[in-house]
Amino acid sequence: DVKVTQSSRYLVKRTGEKVFLECVQDMDHENMFWYRQDPGLGLRLIYFSYDVKMKEKGDIPEGYSVSREKKERFSLILESASTNQTSMYLCASTRTGNTEAFFGQGTRLTVV
Amino acid sequence: AQSVTQPDIHITVSEGASLELRCNYSYGATPYLFWYVQSPGQGLQLLLKYFSGDTLVQGIKGFEAEFKRSQSSFNLRKPSVHWSDAAEYFCAVGLYSSASKIIFGSGTRLSIRP
């Protein structure tokens, strides 16, 4: 059974903290994505990666960075968390040439 | 720019009634098309997908969708809904590129009236 695993279901962080969200996939997929989900806005792409150490900005990269040191792992970093980054964060992966995405369960982040 | 539009934010239907959720996309070529469902507190699950061939595709849980190139639409249908179908539904477009990027619509929340 294919799997995308996000390290935390729920996180509460303070304003100004550095926050790491981790995502691991076991399908040997080339591409990995971080989305942010907010009511009425659907899923918005923050960053994606098509290879180890490669990354591209999505639609809303401001305030975020990413790291992909190994093929199976893609990390989202909030350098200095702010309250407007309170949201649901979803990680996904795809195989190149087959854009069906597999999603993790999501991390609900609250910044106080 | 590529986009996906789901014009209905929230739909309520009676249990046993038929359902159609609308989706329109803007893209220069025929994209990959998907419908995903998200139950409360859960990640997204793929309902069905269209890559090529027959424009009427069947998915899980009794759902189907029809690709209409002339209307740039990919509407989701179910002949008879069940209370367990209450969820949020997302239409998505997969773009031809090395990164296989996917763009999502804003979602339609489905409520079921007993």
B61 pLDDT more than 90: yes
Six-digit token string for B41: 């507190």
- Sign for the pseudo-dihedral over CA of A33, A38, A44, A47: negative
Question: Chain B residues contacting A, CB < 8 Å?
Answer: 6, 9, 32, 34, 36, 42-46, 49, 90, 92, 94-95, 98-107
Amino acid in position B66: E
B33 phi and psi, to 5 degrees?
A: -130, 140
pLDDT band at A1 (very low <50, low <70, confident <90, very high): low
pLDDT per position as a tens digit, A30-88: 999 999 999 888 899 999 999 999 999 998 999 999 999 999 999 999 999 999 999 99
Instruction: State how far residue B70 is from chain A, nearest Cα, in angstroms.
Output: 23
Determine, for residues B42 and A106 on separate chains, whether the beta-carbon distance falls below 8 Å: yes
Residue B100 scores a pLDDT above 70: no
Q: Which residues of B touch A4 (CB under 8 A)?
A: 43
Number of residue pairs across A and B with CB atoms under 8 Å?
66
Residue of A31, A42, A50 with shortest CB distance to B104: A42
Element (H, E) at B19: strand B19-21
Q: What local confidence, expressed as pLDDT, does residue B8 receive?
A: 95
Task: Point out the residue among A56, A94, A106 whose CB comes nearest to the CB of B43.
Answer: A106
Separation between Cα atoms, residue A29 and residue A73, nearest integer Å:
10
- The tens digit of pLDDT for each residue in B9-47 reads 999 999 999 999 999 998 877 788 999 999 887 789 999
- The answer to whether A105 and A94 are in contact (CB under 8 A) is no
